[in-house]
Structure 1
Amino acid sequence: MREVCADFEVELREFNGDDHVHLLVRYPPKVALSKLVNSLKGVSARTLRKEFSAHVRRYLWGDRFWSGSYFAGSVGGAPLTVLEQYIEQQKRPV
């Protein structure tokens, strides 16, 4: 996740999840969010399939690792510490 964010010149502030992933990122206006998410999902799916292929098979959506959808929300004036704490309190990725 960090490498993909760095390639897009995006700051990854917080990362956590279990059956879904929470990312808190700060990205410049020139970044198309859909392209960032597509890259994050693609790179992470390839990496996880490569490293944990036997384990991953039972979690696929058909033949895909991630669902085709995603949720993105803007947090404009919310204190980042509150958002970071929320994400930190979610279950860690397995």
Structure 2
Amino acid sequence: MNGEFSVRKGRHCVSALHAHLVFVTKYRAKVFNGAILERLEAILREVCVDFEVELTEFNGEEDHIHLLIEYPPKVQISKLINSLKGVSSRLLRKEYSAIHQYLWKGALWSPSYFAGSCKGASLEIIANYIERQNRPS
């Protein structure tokens, strides 16, 4: 993440909307390792492209992930999150059968999430916080 302030320009609006998202696994199960987190990041980036959202920063630990996104005003955060969690859960469960031992009735994610607006804090500070997560190998 660079310290440069970016503005998204559309036909009828100019915006700079950023959000910090945190998703936690169901029952804080320690599901993720380095390889799964790499695949998870790729999946989330694909979903973000479909929504015209930029995934600026990604990292995670064994039981949760952090995302820093930049999104257009037309995107409803709740719908984006529903898609991010749904697609990632379905694909990870399909590709990594070993994670089924950690899941309860097939649910990867807790139904709750954190979404915070980032204009009150420096984006660089939030990006640094996400980078410093204790990512498993």
Shared fold per TM-score greater than 0.5: yes
TM-score computed with the length of structure 1 as normaliser = 0.89
Q: Of Structure 1 and Structure 2, which has the larger fraction of its residues in strand?
A: 2
2:70 pairs with one of 26, 31, 34: 26
Q: Of Structure 1 and Structure 2, which has the larger fraction of its residues in helix?
A: 1
Shift in Å, 1:60: 1.5
Letter in 2 for 1:8: F
2:66 and 2:111 map into 1 onto residues whose CA distance is 16
Shift in Å, 1:91: 2.5
Unaligned runs of 5+ in 2: 1-43
2:79 and 2:102 map into 1 onto residues whose CA distance is 24
How many residue pairs were aligned?
93
1:5 pairs with one of 44, 48, 53: 48
User: Are residues 93 and 70 of structure 1, via their aligned partners in 2, closer, same or farther at CA, if it must alter by over 3 Å?
Assistant: farther
1:91 and 1:30 map into 2 onto residues whose CA distance is 34
Letter in 2 for 1:85: N
Unaligned runs of 5+ in 1: none
1:52 and 1:16 map into 2 onto residues whose CA distance is 19
Shift in Å, 1:77: 4.0
Q: Secondary structure at the match of 1:30?
A: coil
1:93 and 1:33 map into 2 onto residues whose CA distance is 28
Query: Match for residue 112 of structure 2?
Result: 69
Q: CA RMSD in A?
A: 1.5
Does residue 109 of structure 2 align to residue 44 of structure 1? no
TM-score computed with the length of structure 2 as normaliser = 0.63
1:81 pairs with one of 121, 124, 129: 124
% identity of equivalent residues = 65
User: Are residues 8 and 59 of structure 1, via their aligned partners in 2, closer, same or farther at CA, if it must alter by over 3 Å?
Assistant: same
